[in-house]
Chain A
Amino acid sequence: AQSVAQPEDQVNVAEGNPLTVKCTYSVSGNPYLFWYVQYPNRGLQFLLKYITGDNLVKGSYGFEAEFNKSQTSFHLKKPSALVSDSALYFCAVRALAAGSARQLTFGSGTQLTVLP
């Protein structure tokens, strides 16, 4: 079975400081990894994904994430946080070998608050 852990329910950071939202995963074989963001009363918006290739993935709004196979982690990062980045962030995984059954398993989410 595949699973995702987001160890922090809440992350607070001051505007202009770097931010990190942590994610670790468990999956059989190679993973597909995703980050989504959810603003209040809205659906999830895709931020970035790791499928293959470069371990450092760049996504929307200046976010990036680093795939670390040995640590089974895919932490989300941004060099300089904005107040508008405040939202709920979800990490998700699926096994590469799952074929057409592209069931994503999501973490429980991390609420990011950027303080002005």
Chain B
Amino acid sequence: EAGVAQSPRYKIIEKRQSVAFWCNPISGHATLYWYQQILGQGPKLLIQFQNNGVVDDSQLPKDRFSAERLKGVDSTLKIQPAKLEDSAVYLCASSPPGQGVRMETQYFGPGTRLLVL
């Protein structure tokens, strides 16, 4: 089974520029998550999708961050304009559909490391 795919793996931009990250979840996984992991901290959830609908985006800085999941499969996360404090690893995760304990496990991609200069 292929894992969660993310691209690019690394990105360096200057502040005020825009950037986009792409995620392809595990096939058949209905739920998709974007996390931000700042160096020395644990991941923080930015947004959660169930199919192509948003379940939780309470911690997404909506003035600069946006995300979409068209057709309920791939997802993109965009930052516009970027700030220095956005330097972090952006992790995508997915979990299986259905009910019960199986759907509770999240599977993570390798992440995109963003450096804002």
Tell me the interface secondary structure of chain A in the complex: loop
Bound: A94/B45 CA distance, A: 12
Known contacts A43-B91, A51-B104: A101-B48 contact under CB 8 Å? yes
Q: How many A-B residue pairs have CB under 8 A?
A: 61
CB closest chain-A residue, reference B6: A43
Bound: A83/B19 CA distance, A: 38
A36, A43, A100: the one within 8 Å of B111 (CB):
A43
Bound: A46/B105 CA distance, A: 7
Which B residues between 28 and 45 are near A, CB-CB below 8 angstroms? 31, 40-45
Contact across chains for B42 and A107 when beta carbons are under 8 A apart: yes
- Please indicate the chain B residues that have their CB under 8 angstroms from the CB of A44 in the complex: 43, 91, 93, 108
Which A residues between 26 and 77 are near B, CB-CB below 8 angstroms? 32, 34, 36, 41-46, 49, 51-52
Bound: A115/B92 CA distance, A: 32
Contact across chains for A46 and B55 when beta carbons are under 8 A apart: no
Contact across chains for A42 and B42 when beta carbons are under 8 A apart: no
| Binary flags per residue of A100-116, CB closer than 8 Å to B gives 1, else 0 | 11111011110000000
B110 within 8 A of A: yes
Contact across chains for A32 and B104 when beta carbons are under 8 A apart: yes
Expressed in whole angstroms, the minimum distance between the Cβ of B45 and any Cβ of chain A is 5
Contact across chains for B109 and A43 when beta carbons are under 8 A apart: yes
Most buried by A among B42, B43, B44: B42
Contact across chains for A101 and B56 when beta carbons are under 8 A apart: yes
Query: Which residues of A come within 8 Å of B, CB atoms?
Result: 4, 32, 34, 36, 41-46, 49, 51-52, 90, 92, 100-104, 106-109
What 4 pairs between A and B have smallest CB-CB spacing?
A: A106-B42, A43-B108, A44-B108, A51-B101
